[in-house]
Amino acid sequence: MFNDSDRQILRDLAKRVADIAALPVQEERRSLWRQHNALQRVRPMILFFPEGSWRELLPDSALTCQDEKARRIEGGLRRQIYSHEHFDTDNVIDKECVVRKVIRNSGWGLQAEWTHSASETGARRFKPVIQSPSDMKKLSHPSIEYDDAETQQRLREMQDLFGDILDVKLRGVSHISFHLMSQYTALRGLEEVMLDMLEEPEWLHDAMAFLTEGHERIVKQYVDQNLLCLNNDNTYHSSGGNGYTDELPAKDGDPTRVRPCDMWAAAEAQELAQVSPEMHEAFSLKYERQLLAPFGLNGYGCCEDLSGKLDYVFKIPNIRRISISPFADVERSATQLKGDYIFSWKPHPSHLVGDFEAERIREYIRYTVEVARENGCVLEMILKDTHTCENRPERFDEWARIAREVVEDA
């Protein structure tokens, strides 16, 4: 598949990942996560997902493979190694090479359109393609198709490349997350949806009902074609976290025929951050709750402030992980969550830009840790949405060191 040089580079990196994965600390972390996700207060857990900052931590110039596909694989391996060598967090490194089943989605009949910024990392502006109720007729529910031949080809390639070093695993759909409002505002426009809540509420309800039915059909197709995969492991969950748990699959579960009740799922509605709890419930949570109901464990939220909306969030069946965003009232949230849900705190990523004030960051983290402890919360801190560190990668290392010291002193 690759030339000899690229192949050797990838295999050497895979051996390093395998060595890291074999360290006792990995199983120690898995055990802590299983307890944590079961709402046992072990200690505040720490995860890093640098996201956009990876281009500064590991720029393209750090990659040595020539083939573009090889460079993508190389990047994934190097990120795992970098995380282990730099971040004192609870991220788990597995001895795995995951090959995804090739699954095709026919789409919803309309494609979102945008006006893009001239800046490479600039914002984009909505360009609505749904401008009247009649445009809704252009939407259709997706059909799902599994390509077994292409899947098996990819599996053979990875087995040939890594089979004697890593555990090459074939996996289907393991990350389930619903984003109804993001999906619809991309087609209708954010400002337009805000106005529709007041001026055209029935139209908006019809749109949400249509999308909800479509996603239910997608999940059913996954089940009918046996495309779902267990995610009670290191699978990324919700807007930050992982799936380690002994509670899934269900007691009558069959790992070869996975059902929604055997899995974690999640939803969020960041676009509704500034609307009232009642509107959030009426136009989004009502529908998200319907989609999440069949799943064994659920998460909710991302960057929207839910501290005034938690009574509605608590009504989600099997809700376990709740996102407390950088903009949320930490104390108000903690007094409501207590030890009944995972307090999935998202520290403010802006602390990694501008002046890096270590003592200010320490007090910021300590405040949340203390509030969580006083209220018996099951706390995790997920540093993510870090789209830049201003080319100062060491700031991640320092943030992790500070967080670890605060956790150990708590």
Q: What is the CA radius of gyration of the chain?
A: 22
Contact at 8 Å (CB) between 242 and 299?
no
Per DSSP, the residues of 262-298 read GSEEEE--GGGTTS-HHHHIIIIIHHHHHHHTTSSEE
Domain limits, the chain: 173-332
Please report, for residues 50, 64, 79, 243, 328, the alpha-carbon distance to residue 75 in angstroms, rounded to integers and kept in the order given: 14, 10, 6, 24, 34
SS3 of residue 393 by DSSP: coil
- Positive or negative CA dihedral for 28, 57, 97, 244? positive
How deeply is 318 buried, as exposed, middle or buried, from its count of CB atoms within 10 A (0-12, 13-18, 19+)? middle
Contact at 8 Å (CB) between 135 and 189?
no
Which residue in 135, 179, 122, 175 sits closest to 295, CA to CA?
175
pLDDT at 1: 83
pLDDT at 120: 82
Which residue in 365, 350, 363, 364 sits closest to 395, CA to CA?
350
pLDDT at 60: 96
Cα distance between residue 313 and residue 36, in whole Å: 20
Report which secondary-structure segment, H or E, holds 153.
helix 148-162
Which residue in 249, 242, 258 sits closest to 49, CA to CA?
242
Contacts of 359 (CB under 8 A, 6+ apart): none
Cα distance between residue 1 and residue 158, in whole Å: 9
Cα distance between residue 313 and residue 80, in whole Å: 34
How deeply is 222 buried, as exposed, middle or buried, from its count of CB atoms within 10 A (0-12, 13-18, 19+)? buried
Contact at 8 Å (CB) between 173 and 222?
yes
pLDDT at 249: 98
User: What is the phi/psi pair of residue 101, to 5°?
Assistant: -60, 140
Question: Locate tokens 């992790």: which residue?
Answer: 400
pLDDT at 121: 83
pLDDT at 317: 98
pLDDT at 410: 80
pLDDT at 337: 98
The identity of residue 118, as a single letter, is: A
How deeply is 391 buried, as exposed, middle or buried, from its count of CB atoms within 10 A (0-12, 13-18, 19+)? exposed
Going residue by residue through the chain, which has 410 residues, state the pLDDT in tens, using 9 for 90 and above: 899 999 999 999 999 999 999 999 999 999 999 999 999 999 999 999 999 999 999 999 999 999 999 999 999 999 999 999 999 999 999 999 999 999 999 999 999 999 999 988 889 999 999 999 999 999 999 999 999 999 999 999 999 999 999 999 999 999 999 999 999 999 999 999 999 999 999 999 999 999 999 999 999 999 999 999 999 999 999 999 999 999 999 999 999 999 999 999 999 999 999 999 999 999 999 999 999 999 999 999 999 999 999 999 999 999 999 999 999 999 999 999 999 999 999 999 999 999 999 999 999 999 999 999 999 999 999 999 999 999 999 999 999 999 999 999 98
